[in-house]
Structure 1
Amino acid sequence: MISELRITNLGVINSATIELDPGLTVVTGETGAGKTMIVTGMGLLLGARSDPKAVRTGAGQARVEGAFTAPDRTTRARVDELGGELDGDELLVARQVTSAGRSRSWVGGAQVPVGSGSAVVEELITIHGQSEQLRLTSPDRQRELLDAYAGDSVSESLDGYRQRYAERQQARAELAELTEQAQSRAREIDLLRFGLAEIEKIDPQPGEDVELAAEATRLQRSDDLRQSAAAAMVALAGGEDEAGGAMSAIAAARKEIETLAATDPDAEKLRSRVQDLSYALTELTSSAADYLDGLDAEPGRLEQIAERRSELATLTRKYGSDCDEVLAWAAEAASRLGGLESGDERIDELTARIAGLDGELAELAGRIGAARREAAASFATLVEAELAALAMPHARLSFAVTETELGPHGADAVELLFSANPGSEPRGLGKVASGGELSRVRLAIEVILAAESGNRGTFVFDEVDAGVGGKVAVEIGRRLSALARRAQVVVVTHLAQVAAFGDRHYVVVKADDGQVTTSGVQRVADDQRAAELARMMAGLDTTDSALAHARELIETADRARTAKPVRARRKKPAKAG
């Protein structure tokens, strides 16, 4: 239940506070006084689209705050998830709209996305304005109302249906994409297979191109290398046709030193050193000879390298700048190819899954349709009884439930058929009902749904009495009063017959400057209330006769709302299944 609503800088309202209690609260005021801003403010708490033009002229921002008492466990849990806190047993919710179009929302003191804030409030308040009256003519809204009345008999099957329907839609979308891309997928498979086969045939190795380039460079310089190696051999061992070289010189030096060592012990150290040098020179000469022989060990190797590098170049032109990149492409291509080749298998899987889901959906849709048809008869009977009490004794109303293709809400088309007068064939509600008739149908449905569901939240009605007056207005007031026995009801009205049923009465009065201040939202009772009702009826300065008429209207309302309303009894629809 909402206990207080504070509005600042919204429309013509400068600052206003209205305290709300259980039962029926009526809000009245002259045209343009801003009484509908109360509904607009509650709509902002419910997440309505913010309109910068709604900010009072000259103000930078508008703000609406609502205080809710004793929220249920589910609401408390949502507030806790959002990081908000309750103030004792009270929940504070706020919405702020700037003249630049920015919007903010708070729940329990925590700033939250507007959608999150509205999700909390929409469980607490239901607003019925002119837009809801227009929605009543839509088949979707008529189906929602029928499902709400049917309760578990529809909702239990509908929950499972919607889950499977969403899965089916997802599978169909994937299947359509796979089927549409079949040709491009086949072309890509051929390209990938060709590339992988070409790479497999050549069989490049990691870093092979780099190694071959280095070897080719070395082989291309082999002539220079052989000349240098041969010169080194001549210097070390001498030529084939001439003596000399380092080895010959060392051998001669060694012979002379050994002669010295044989006669002079002091020359022994020289002999040892010349021997070491002779051995080292012999090893060096052998290594140089091996190197020279190695340069001529693989004749034709350079041609082999050139041929292999040419093969590798055919790959690096297409699949990467070097062998490593070519191998990386091959790994990615193999993975991609596996996914593409599984496309046909996936198509078969999806086709089978969709067929299975179609069967499950058809079965669930049959249960839902049967439950709707059973509920439709009972619901229509109750609405007709309410309409009879609202001065429409000849009204006929029925829900036409016809089979259609599978859709997101089942396989039914729901249309509310209506006839206000005897002899008239029932037709679509939006085609034949006047504004006043729509108001009464909407109120009758709401009263029934509230009674059947046990909804004890807050209902806000704006212009529910549009297009009616006299006895009908009295019956609307009585029905609103009956609804207020089970829930908190706030109604903005311009009819004294409706306002007379209020448990409390607020009047919105503009100041001389055209704005509504805190003192401009006044709670009236007794003589003040009678004066306001007299103004609403006569539209002139109150007179004794007008006041007497107003007091008589209040007494009539008191007697009417204490009378127990007569309603048809509902035949509870059986649960599907």
Structure 2
Amino acid sequence: MLYSLHVKDLALIKEQEIEFGEGLNVLTGETGAGKSVLIGSVNLALGSKADKDLIRTGADYALVELTFFVDNEITKSRIKEMDLPIEEDGTVILSRKIMDGRSICKVGGENVTVRQLRLLGELLINIHGQNDNQTLLQNKKHLEILDSFAGDKVLEHKKKLKEVWSLHEKIKAKLEETDIDEATRKREQDLAMFELEEIQGADLKEGEDEELETRYRRMANSLKITEAAGEARQFLFGEEGESASDAISGALQKLIAVSAYDESVKEVTDQLGDIDNLMTDLGHSLSAYLSDLEFDDEEFKNTEDRLDLINHLKDKYGNSIGDILKYADEKQKQLDILSNLEEERARLQKELVDCLEEAKKICGKISEIRKKNARELASQMKQALIDLNFLDVQFRIDVIPDEEHITSSGYDEVVFMISTNPGEQLRPLSEIASGGELSRIMLALKTVFADQDDIASLIFDEIDTGISGVTAWKVSEKLGKLAASHQIICITHLPQIAAMYDRHFLIQKGLSDSRTITSISRLSDDESIDELGRMLGAGEVTDAVRQNAREMRNKALKTKV
């Protein structure tokens, strides 16, 4: 459930906090009062595109913060799977700070990406805006709706189909690559053979380049190394009586001579003895190292030439010897294919046919699941539409297979068919539905799906478009029933819908410090009656208008019982 919305310095809102509740939260106000800003702020907090122009004039940034309470265990586990913070009591706080050129998104105080905000928002709330109705005119949307209704029954098959169809497209691409004439085949074969022979002729070994570079660096700097090592040997093992080695040996002999007079001297002599042995080993190592430094010009030239060859191959075939050898393996495979092109194409064509047959089988299973669920969804939709004052409605969902047009979603076209008047034939929804009918059809879909998903909060932005009178009451009753199991936040112009409120908020535009601001306040029951009176179209809210508004409210309350 969305508990609160906090907005600061966004458009005409200076700073506002709204606390929503369970059931039906109704927002009303004059046209142009800023109702769209409210929905826009929620969308911003959930990752929609941010524009610096939304920042209130004179402010450095705009801030939107949403606080949700999550009590559904499935939703909690999904949030944790996304590695996003959620309090032990189920509290989730989303915020977005919008600045010039960038924005900072946070969940529970931790920085997140805009994409993470969007994914989290999809788990927490469902927003139905005025433009969403138009998506019902697209058959592609009908397919999405039906598959969403079918849920896991169709999901596994679609996942498998996606894998098979992806393989099909890769094989098809390989076939197109090998569809070449003889001259092109010969040219590609010669090039592959030349490159392969060049690499194989080098007889490369993994790690060889690193070893060669170390040896080359040592040989190139051998003079400096020889001088330094020679001086080190001179210091350690130079002229007799002056070297470090002689000094250590002399000190050892002196102490050995007096060790008989004091046993504690033995510890020192042992240590000096170890050092003397180490100096002997060090002398041998230095001599061996200096011997290894000796090389002739031919050895240096061979090392340099080998490095040049390897670097040349790196420039052409890869950044490392491993990459070059991998390239050679690919060229060998290409050469094998080019040498046996007809056999390779025959193999690919067989694999393509096998993939296509497998895809058709999976598409068939998906189509059967869709047809079965189409009947169930159509039945539920018909009842929901009757509840919304489509008195003699007929509703059908056609699933039309076409094996010649397979995609990763299957080969079906799905079309919502409807007849809203007695004696009329069922026709595609896109051909006959008016704006008001689309609003009710969308509401019917929302109510059908409400019991299937785990989303606790729904926002309806002017679901009442194009409706009035008895139909408006039917829509109001539907929203009231839906609000018994979900939190509904509804922006409306109709008093019939507003009268069904559990909480009523008024959106107003006014002046503060000579500047226009939008404010949102929760109304008391008496204030709601006055607002309902205004919405009834009375220029002046008289006692008679208030009585009419009370009767409307009482009728709504009786419906809720």
> TM-score, normalised to structure 2's length?
0.71
388 and 193 in structure 1: CA distance in 2 versus 1, 3 angstrom threshold = closer
- Taking structure 1 as reference, are residues 507 and 349 closer, same or farther at Cα in structure 2, changes over 3 Å only? farther
Counterpart of 2:462 in structure 1 is: 463
Shift of 1:171: 3.9
Do residues 477 (structure 1) and 476 (structure 2) align?
A: yes
Give deviations 1:65-104, integer Å, cap 9, x for gaps. 1111125455545655666533442111112333x34233
Contact 2:158 2:408 (C-alpha < 8 Å) held by counterparts = no
Tell me what 2:146 maps to. Answer: 146
The letter of the residue matching 1:448 is: V
How far off its partner does 1:160 sit? Answer: 2.5
| Secondary structure at 1:528 match in 2 | helix
Change (3 A) 1:195 1:133: closer
2:43 aligns with 43
Q: What is the aligned partner in structure 2 of residue 341 from structure 1?
A: 335
Q: How does 1:250-261 map to 2 (within 5 A)?
A: none
For residue 366 of structure 1, give the secondary structure of its aligned residue in structure 2: helix
The 3-state SS of whatever aligns with 1:508 is strand
Contact 2:538 2:545 in 1 (8 A): no
2:144 aligned with 1:130: no
Give 2:475's aligned amino acid. I
Q: Secondary structure at the match of 2:406?
A: strand
What is residue 561 of structure 1 aligned with on the other side? 560
2:525 is the alignment partner of 1:531: no
SS in 2 for 1:143: helix
**2:361 aligned partner:** 363
Identity of aligned residues (%): 31
Aligned CA distance change for structure 1 residues 340 and 479 (closer, same or farther; 3 Å): same
CA shift at 1:122, angstroms? Answer: 0.8
Which residue is 1:430 aligned to? 430
Residue 142 (structure 1) shift? 1.1
Give the deviation of 1:561 after TM superposition: 2.9
The reply to whether residue 93 of structure 1 matches residue 94 of structure 2 is: yes
Gaps in structure 2 of 5+ consecutive residues: 204-304, 318-323
Shift of 1:188: 3.1
| Contact 1:3/1:69, CA 8 A, preserved across alignment | yes
Task: Tell which deviates more after alignment, 457-466 or 49-58.
Answer: 49-58
| CA–CA distance in structure 2, aligned partners of residues 327 and 523 of structure 1 | 72
Superposed displacement of residue 389, structure 1: 2.1
Task: State the one-letter code of the partner of 2:331.
Answer: L
Amino acid in structure 2 at the alignment position of 1:161: L
Residues 1:173 and 1:181: Cα distance change in structure 2 (over 3 Å): farther
User: 2:506 maps to which residue?
Assistant: 507
Instruction: Flag the 1:96–1:347 CA change in 2: closer, same or farther, 3 A.
Output: farther
The within-5 A match list for 1:355-434 is 355-404=353-402, 405-434=405-434
1:12 maps to 12
In 2: Cα distance, 1:466 partner to 1:533 partner: 18
Do the aligned residues in 1 keep the contact of 2:74 with 2:454 (CA within 8 Å)?
no
Aligned to 1:50, the other structure's residue is in SS state coil
Q: Whole-Å Cα distance in 2 between the matches of residues 336 and 468 of structure 1?
A: 66
Q: Do the aligned residues in 2 keep the contact of 1:455 with 1:487 (CA within 8 Å)?
A: no
Structure 2 CA distance for partners of 1:367 and 1:540, relative to 1, 3 Å: same
Matched-pair contact (CA < 8 Å) for 1:33–1:509: yes
Letter paired with 1:337: K
Residue aligned with 2:95, SS: strand
Superimposed CA distance per residue, residues 96-128 of structure 1 (whole angstroms, 9 cap, x where no aligned partner): 333x34233211211111001211111111111
Q: Deviation string for 1:107-160 (max 9, x for gaps)?
A: 121111100121111111111112211111111211121222233332342232
In the alignment, the residues of structure 2 paired with residue 429 and residue 444 of structure 1 have an alpha-carbon distance, to the nearest angstrom, of 14
In structure 2, the partner of 1:300 is none
Distance 1:497 1:113, change over 3 A: same
Moved more, 83-92 or 72-81: 72-81
Q: Secondary structure at the match of 1:16?
A: strand
- Flag the 1:104–1:165 CA change in 2: closer, same or farther, 3 A: farther
Secondary structure of the residue that 1:425 maps to in structure 2? coil
- The answer for the alignment partner of 1:287 in structure 2 is none
Q: Cα distance, 1:168 vs. partner?
A: 3.0
Query: Residues 3 and 324 of structure 1: is their aligned pair in 2 closer, same or farther, counting only changes over 3 Å?
Result: closer
Provide the C-alpha distance between the structure 1 equivalents of 2:124 and 2:309, rounded to a whole number of angstroms.
68
The structure-2 alpha-carbon separation of the partners of 1:470 and 1:323, relative to structure 1 and needing over 3 Å to count, comes to closer
8 Å CA contact retained: 2:199, 2:328:
no
* Contact residue 192 and residue 334 of structure 2 kept, 8 A: no
Q: Distance in 2 between matches of 1:12 and 1:149?
A: 40
Superposition deviation, residue 377 in structure 1: 2.1
**Aligned letter for 1:394?**
D
**Structure 1 unaligned regions, length at least 5:** 204-315, 563-577
Displacement of 1:323: 11
Structure 1's 336 and 375: CA in aligned 2 closer, same or farther, altered over 3 A?
closer
SS state at 2:555 partner: helix
Q: Is the 8 A contact 1:456 1:488 kept in 2?
A: no
Aligned to 2:490: 491
Is contact 2:529-2:550 (8 Å) kept? yes
Displacement after TM superposition at 1:48 (Å): 1.7
Name the CA distance, whole Å, in 2 between partners of 1:71 and 1:484.
Answer: 17
Q: CA deviation at 1:346?
A: 6.7
**Structure 2 CA distance for partners of 1:442 and 1:87, relative to 1, 3 Å:** same
Q: Which amino acid aligns with 1:145?
A: I
CA contact (8 A) 2:139 2:414 kept: yes
Moved more, 487-496 or 425-434: 425-434
In the alignment, is the contact (CA less than 8 A) between 1:16 and 1:516 conserved in 2? Answer: no
Residue 444 in 1 paired to residue 438 in 2? no
Deviation of residue 57 (structure 1)? Answer: 3.4
Letter in 1 for 2:354: G
Q: Which moved more, 1:523-532 or 1:192-201?
A: 192-201
Cα pair 1:93 1:108 within 8 Å, conserved: yes
Distance 1:349 1:489 in 2: 58
Match of 1:251?
Answer: none
Asked if structure 2 preserves the Cα contact closer than 8 Å seen for 1:455 and 1:486, the reply is no
CA distance in 2, matches of 1:468, 1:48: 29
Map residues 187-202 of structure 1 onto 2, 5 A cutoff: 187-193=187-193
Q: Tell me the distance in 1 between the aligned counterparts of 2:331 and 2:428.
A: 57
User: How many Å separate the matches in 2 of 1:4 and 1:372?
Assistant: 39
Deviation at 1:416, TM superposition (A): 1.1
How far, CA to CA, are the matches of 1:114 and 1:465 in structure 2?
31
TM-score, normalising length: structure 1: 0.69
Aligned residue number for residue 115 of structure 2: 115
- The answer to whether the 8 A contact 1:28-1:506 is kept is yes
Does the 8 A contact of 1:368 with 1:410 survive in 2?
A: yes
Conserved 8 A contact 1:10-1:55: yes
Offset at residue 407 of structure 1 (A): 1.3
Segment drifting more, 435-444 vs 19-28? 19-28
Deviation at 1:535, TM superposition (A): 0.9
Count the aligned residue pairs: 445
Matches of 1:10 and 1:327, distance apart in 2: 56
Partner of 1:509, secondary structure, is strand
The 1:194–1:174 alpha-carbon spacing in structure 2 relative to 1, beyond 3 Å, is: closer
Secondary structure of 1:460's partner? Answer: strand
2:510 is paired with a residue whose SS is coil
For residues 481-519 of structure 1, give each alpha carbon's deviation from its aligned partner in whole angstroms, at most 9, with x where no partner exists: 1111121111111111001111111111222256446xx
Structure number with bigger Rg: 1
